[in-house]
Amino acid sequence: MKVVFLKNVPKVAKLGEIKEVTDGYGRNFLIPKKLAVLAAPGVTDNLEAQSRAQAKKQSQIEAKLIEMAKKLDNKEVILKAKAGSKDRLYGRVTNADIAAELNRTTGVAVDKRKIELAEPIRELGSYEIVIKLSKDIMSKIKITVTEEGAG
């Protein structure tokens, strides 16, 4: 029996694939759980149209991410924090703080999970941070942490 997969089925097939499966597996498992449908000419045409629409949508999202990366590239963000002796911060600067400051200064909303920070910043100084917007779209920004009340 030929079926078109509507969802990814681990170790069997991916979304949109047309595969030959045993009759029992198709009738008793795949079709009742809406993981696949019988491969008919109308179904395959519909699936191809959906995949084209998905590809178009993905390219639009990627274009927006590239534009966002260009806006963020080499930006400098200055954060103020309370510091004690030896330039140690009382608190710490986290991904959320950086995302909020980026949104406030540049108007670009960046998800805090996209900011790659090995550990929170605990000292005054300048840091170069990578923002990974997608798998292969990255942007570097400079963060300068200064003491609150100074300069």
Give the integer Cα–Cα distance in Å for 130 and 72: 10
| Structural contact between residues 115 and 99, judged by C-beta atoms closer than 8 angstroms | yes
Q: Which pLDDT does position 60 carry in this prediction?
A: 93
Tell me which CATH code domain 69-147 carries. 3.10.430.100
CATH 3.40.5.10 positions along the chain are: 2-64
pLDDT tens profile 68-92: 888 888 889 899 989 888 889 988 9
Give the integer Cα–Cα distance in Å for 43 and 46: 5
pLDDT tens profile 24-43: 999 999 999 999 988 887 77
> What mean pLDDT do residues 130-137 have?
89
Q: How confident is the model at residue 150 (pLDDT cuts 50, 70, 90)?
A: low
Q: Which fold has domain 2-64?
A: Ribosomal Protein L9; domain 1 (3.40.5)
